[in-house]
A and B are shown apart, each in its own frame.
Chain A
Amino acid sequence: MKEIFVIILSAMLIDNFVLSKFMGICSFLGVSKKINSAVGMGAAVVFVMVCATLVTFPVYTLLLEPNGLEYLRTLAFILIIALFVQLVEIVLKKIVPPLYKALGVYLPLITTNCAILGVTLINIDKELSFGGAVANAFGGGLGFTLALLLFSGVRSRMETCNVPETFKGVPITLIAASIVSLSFMGFAGML
């Protein structure tokens, strides 16, 4: 139990996918404009990460590894991730249409969100157990949500700031993102 907790915490804070590993920057910058859509996107990413791990882990350990097909894991994982993203899209469209609209193009973009593929591959590389892999995915997803939430707060503050003409728009956003990322470096070596 303690191990699982450690894995979740480290995936969330120390090895935060966005702020320490710099994965999934596209959706990080794209959806962090509003807190509502940031929460929605985060939830979708957590769901896809956990589900993808639930399937990719057994597929790798039971199907690919025993047959010496490790080299095909990226292909298999992307297929599975794409499947879950499609599922999330179909379900969201039916159940929460406003969220579906708010996420817009970033929802199908989860497919190409490298944080998802990253988490499934890291699970394998770290040689985690099944429970550990799911915990890692869950923690990674939570970390992604946390990063989005924190950054949407920063951005909503920036809306009211008098930004110099040269830095308006993307430049100041990237600078702010790097400062938030810098603050997360403080967690390094905590565990």
Chain B
Amino acid sequence: MFQTYILPIIIFAVLGVAAGVLLTVASKVFAVKTDERLDELNEALPQINCGSCGYSGCGDYASAILNGAPTNMCKPGGDKASQKISEIMGVEFADVTEEVAFVRCAGTCNTTTWKYNYDGVQTCKASNRFYNGSKTCTSGCLGFGDCVRTCPNDAISIKDGIAVVDPSVCVGCSMCVKECPNNLITMKPATQKIDVVCMSTALGKVTKAICKSGCIGCKICEKKCPSEAIKVENNFATIDYSKCTQCGICAESCPVGAIQKA
């Protein structure tokens, strides 16, 4: 009885306590002094570890701030976090350019067609391996919601077969950008209301045949834009957000409705 049941318990209790004591002593002796501000900074940051600041996580960015990194890099935290950080560091408040994610595809169930019925693993990445997805457009939104699953704030939803970002919920962490196998998600300033909703690299004729709202690369917007903010490259138009004045002329002149005003 004693040897079978109680002795092992005693042995392991003693071993465990000894290990605990040793570790406690070691952690006291080898304690590393950390800057008190580090904890405060970590508290000010949203701790979603999105990496949109360019550092590997919130903790990494916090220690970078102590070493003199700019205080306005945290996009999900926005002005609020920047305000707190500048208070902790005792520097002047720096404004954060809030960004939101935007899915550059409008190939909904009504506008595009299908090549085949996909019945495999229900993710965009898996579907994309079979002839670039089941939609006839090879560069469009696959609609299986890989981005939806990564979004920490549930800002993305699948509507009519394509992913749609709710800009009022999106905090601009850019985690979804990496997920999209077709690289359709771009980050744009939150104030930007006009955007091209297609990234099809196919020739205009082909795009027109497979999707009703695809950019055909006709360059009408490029010619009409008063501030030269739109360029057509690889058969689709792209807006330079830094030049765009949001006059809306492009959206009105687009023959296929590939430029939309939110």
Contacts and interface: CB of A to CB of B under 8 A. Distances in A.
Interface of A: 59, 63-64, 67-69, 72, 75-76, 79-80, 82-83, 86-87, 90-91, 93-95, 97
Contacts of B11: 63-64, 67, 69, 76
A67 B30 contact: no
A64 B26 CA distance: 27
Contact of B22 (A64, A67, A69, A87): A87
Contact of A79 (B3, B8, B19): B19
A129 to B, nearest CB: 23
20 contacts: A67-B3, A67-B8, A69-B8, A72-B8, A72-B12, A75-B12, A76-B12, A79-B19, A80-B19, A82-B19, A83-B22, A87-B23, A87-B26, A90-B23, A90-B27, A93-B32, A94-B30, A94-B31, A94-B32, A95-B30
Nearest to A92: B30
Contacts of A82: 19
A64 B11 CA distance: 9
Nearest to B19: A83
Interface of B: 3, 7-8, 11-12, 15-16, 19, 22-23, 26-27, 30-32
B16 A79 contact: yes
B11 to A, nearest CB: 6
B30 A76 contact: no
**Interface of chain A: mostly helix, strand, loop or mixed:** helix
Q: Most chain-B CB neighbours within 10 Å: which of A64, A93, A94, A95?
A: A94
Given A83-B19, A87-B22, A93-B30, 9 more contacts: A69-B7, A69-B8, A79-B16, A79-B19, A87-B23, A87-B26, A90-B26, A91-B30, A97-B32
B19 to A, nearest CB: 4
B23 A83 contact: yes
Contacts of A63: 11
Q: B7, B23, B26 — which one has the most chain A CB atoms within 10 A of its CB?
A: B26
A51 to B, nearest CB: 12
A90 B30 contact: yes
Contacts of A93: 30, 32
Nearest to B28: A90
B15 A79 contact: yes
Nearest to B33: A94
